[in-house]
Structure 1
Amino acid sequence: MLIHLAYTLTGDRRCAELQRMDSERLDMSGYAYYENIWGGGAESMFRRKASVVQHLDRLRVGEHSLFEIDDFIVNGGEGPGQQDEHRRLFAPAVDLNFRRFEQDRRAYLEGGAERQADEEAALMRWLPHCRRKLFFEWNAPELVNRLIPFLYLDTYLSLLRAERSTIEQVRRDLVLGLNRAFSHLYLTDSDNLYVTTQYLHSAEQPRPLVRLTIPLSGVDLFVDGRPDMAYDRERPDLLLRFAPPPALALRPGAPMPKLERWRLNLLTFEYLMRLAHGGTYNILADECELSVRALKDQLLSAFAYEPAEAGLIEFFVAERRRYVLKKIQIDEQGHLRSGG
């Protein structure tokens, strides 16, 4: 962390080199701290070695356009308040190559049609840089947080503030997201968590078997604060807590398993929320699928049991444009009986 902070401040440049560049009036805007923090260019040795940079790369701050932010950068804001803020943020300084940004901006706004293409290209080169500057320096978190390409960042932050109304709705969304992540089917039931495992092979498509069913009331979402020694402060985390399936309470003489817990970081939260709202499985799969599989294994290890009805098999089938839970039972003679 200290090495990364040092690189953020210096850009791996020595004083003599920066003084020479300044005396030659070279453009040093690329060495601003809000550029260095991402690890420099693709050829940077620090970028290739620093693990924290690889995590920051996922944020891709400044690489995508937001109308409200780009309009503020280019047009200077609406009303006296925003215009004053624009002048403060974009005052001529080394990180804007002194007056060069303002000159390119003015040329774009005032240029004629015959010069528009060149002036637009010049301004477009500034936009990612200026977005990153605003991300760190503009006191408008509701806007600049949207530069992080997470659709559910605001929801995540509101959960960390323990807003109860948000928790209740998101709990259902997370159960639905887990159902879709476990089964790889577009399930619509969020009243129960279905932990699926091996597949039945059919002529149509493989169908996951349901090994555990935990009702929504048995899944709790809450904020868990724990000490963070690195920052000498408490760091809140989101935690899902799973109660044993009710069927386990019916087993005579068997001890009731303990509650199981699972921590969610922002990436996993985003992955499950996107799935719950119709996203595809490939988005964030590399970062999150292993954690979701580990949760499935954790729940199966803790709660798996032989059902009281021997030979009962539960699985999902497509029916009327949705997946429906079906049950069949195999009796001692090997005959099948439909259970619904």
Structure 2
Amino acid sequence: MQRNDFVDYLDQYNVLSPNHSKIYDEYTYEDDELSKYAFSIETNIEEYLIEIFKENPRSIILSGNAGDGKTRLCRRVFNSLTSVEMQSWSSEGIVDVTCLNNQIIIVKDLSELSENKIQSILMDLEISIKEKKNKYYLIAANEGKLTQALTQEGMDYLQEKVRKRFESHINNDQELGIINLQDVTSSVYAERIIKEWTKKEYWNQCESCPLSQDCIIFHNYEKLKEPKIQKKLVNQYRTLDYLSEHITMREMLIHLAYTITGSLKCDDIYSEDMELRDAHFNKVYYENYYGASAINGQAEKIQALKALRTIDPGNYSFSTIDDFIINGDISGDPKLESEHFSLIDDSIDLQRGYFKNQLNMYRDHNEKITYEDISFWIYKLRRKLFFEANEELFAVEKLLPFEYIKDFKEIMSENKINEFKKMLVPSLNRSFSRKLIDPIFVKNLYAINETLLIKNTFKRGELILEIEPTREEIDHLPSKLILKIKGNEEIKLNINLAVFEYLMRLHGGGTHNILKNEVEILVDTFRNELMTLENEVGDDLEILKYDYLKGLYIESELSID
């Protein structure tokens, strides 16, 4: 039996495999026959940390979720400062390094230490900052554990410094910085992983395999190496960025390995169990990417799938594409018929023409083929078309659950802020009041309470709408808009794709209600904060009242006698 070692390497990310590696750092530096495939994802944050400790040292706390790569970064900093490859951590996970007459103490995970040890480290960190010693810390810490430890008596000074830096990275200074790895943009790393794992040299062994043309793993590689499909895969991760979904480095590796292999190995391809081999068509990349054919609890164990399933194009109908799947080859349009012939072929993912046979029987009203039989394929083929169809023929983004995703991307990439700002004020007014307001009175933003009393009014010129800044030091791409009030910029509304979609549907009269649970809490909190701002109180109260002739709410005044 011929096998590809690289497939075994990917199996270390299979969450159901006994070979599954538990943490990204251990996997990256594993010393066995598969280590030749090990790679370290290039990250700006790694370069940034090394530059800090070599050129302008200060203490740094790394926070983030388990799997974000905090331990790996600590190891990489150690290797760079000492020019020695770390073989293993000490029992406590603490190393002491001297670099350019500075003492640098690296703590790989604060939460693994005893309470007394944590207190000792934090007290020493505080003293080092106060006394400006040439002693600095790099600490990987869970935010909750760190915050709890700082509540102990005598830690007020450090507690306040940490609080401010968790509040915003702009409060980092030359004494202490906190870097939250949840701020890293997931799609940046997804692109680097996909490009690495589709390098031709990793798949050369498959070229001479007698079963390569019947291997769904090799089929997935052949597809994923195409730049067009790589771009679509990365764009789906970018959509998660726009939705404020953070996927850890570990979960990304697990998910993308599953996308390629579907948890299969070369042994499975050579299996003599024909029933199992026949089921491999369901392990095609576009099914794996969303966990559509996952079994045995795989989907629940791959955290990235929970987020990606919310944007699974297979679950959203678009009549043009659904009609193409069923009738594209008999449409009478030469371009559509050619595209249908190209996409819906005899490939392994379509069971070597099995779907085409079923489709012909269905169109001939064969009683053996039901709509349920065909609908299984429709879900599957929506996903296939989303990645592989000619986008000059189909607006495949219509298969995503967002009507305004194209507009959002244009604003983020082309800075079309002013166009959106015109729609923003009436949309927020409608959301705040839950009422339809006369267009004449939508030039200002109203902070309105439940009784339709206008507590505050903000002119359009007082509204600051901007794209969040890029943070190149940590691979952070702008992924949301920020609305602030001039002079009160601590009060803000973060407008990610979900909030944008909600507001645009409000403006266009669409079905905004399906997004209510997701965004209304954010919008209502913003409204409540606006109502707390001090405002000059005149002799009259401003309210919204219903105008029966117009069928809309208008601004009115109540005199206070």
- Give me the TM-score of the superposition, normalised by structure 1: 0.76
Among residues 219, 226, 231, which one is paired with 2:463 in the alignment? 219
> What per-residue deviation string (whole Å, max 9, x for no partner) do you get for residues 262-305 of structure 1?
3311111111111222246632112112221232244345xx11
Indicate if the aligned counterparts of 1:219 and 1:240 stay in contact, CA closer than 8 A: no
Equivalence map 1:129-278=2 (5 Å):
129-140=380-391, 143-162=395-414, 164=416, 167-188=417-438, 189-197=441-449, 199=450, 207-227=451-471, 232=475, 235-244=477-486, 256-258=487-489, 261-278=492-509
Structure 1 partner of 2:541: 313
Q: Greater share of strand residues, 1 or 2?
A: 1
Structure 2 partner of 1:327: 557
Q: Could you tell me how far 1:100 is from its partner in structure 2? A: 0.5
Distance 1:44 1:267, change over 3 A: farther
Tell me how far apart the structure 1 counterparts of residues 372 and 391 of structure 2 sit (CA, whole Å): 27
Tell me how far apart the structure 2 counterparts of residues 22 and 130 of structure 1 sit (CA, whole Å): 27
2:432 is aligned with what amino acid?
F
Indicate if the aligned counterparts of 1:181 and 1:281 stay in contact, CA closer than 8 A: no
Indicate if the aligned counterparts of 1:152 and 1:270 stay in contact, CA closer than 8 A: yes
Distance 1:192 1:285, change over 3 A: same
Equivalence map 1:84-163=2 (5 Å):
84-109=338-363, 111=364, 113=365, 115=366, 118=369, 120-140=371-391, 143-162=395-414
Indicate if the aligned counterparts of 1:195 and 1:213 stay in contact, CA closer than 8 A: yes
Q: Secondary structure at the match of 2:470?
A: strand
Q: Secondary structure at the match of 1:241?
A: strand
Q: Could you tell me how far 1:213 is from its partner in structure 2? A: 1.0
Give the number of aligned pairs: 302
Among residues 310, 313, 318, which one is paired with 1:61 in the alignment? 313
Indicate if the aligned counterparts of 1:173 and 1:190 stay in contact, CA closer than 8 A: no
2:262 pairs with 1:11 = yes
Distance 1:285 1:6, change over 3 A: same
Distance 1:168 1:19, change over 3 A: same
Tell me how far apart the structure 2 counterparts of residues 21 and 325 of structure 1 sit (CA, whole Å): 76
Distance 1:87 1:117, change over 3 A: same
Could you tell me which runs of 5 or more consecutive residues in structure 2 were left unpaired when the two chains were aligned: 1-251
Structure 2 partner of 1:283: 514
Q: Secondary structure at the match of 2:430?
A: helix
The RMSD of aligned alpha carbons is: 3.0
Q: Could you tell me how far 1:28 is from its partner in structure 2? A: 2.6
Distance 1:124 1:217, change over 3 A: same
Distance 1:22 1:220, change over 3 A: farther
Structure 2 partner of 1:338: none
Tell me how far apart the structure 2 counterparts of residues 158 and 179 of structure 1 sit (CA, whole Å): 24
- Give me the TM-score of the superposition, normalised by structure 2: 0.48
Larger displacement relative to structure 2 (171-180 or 38-47): 38-47
Q: Secondary structure at the match of 1:313?
A: strand
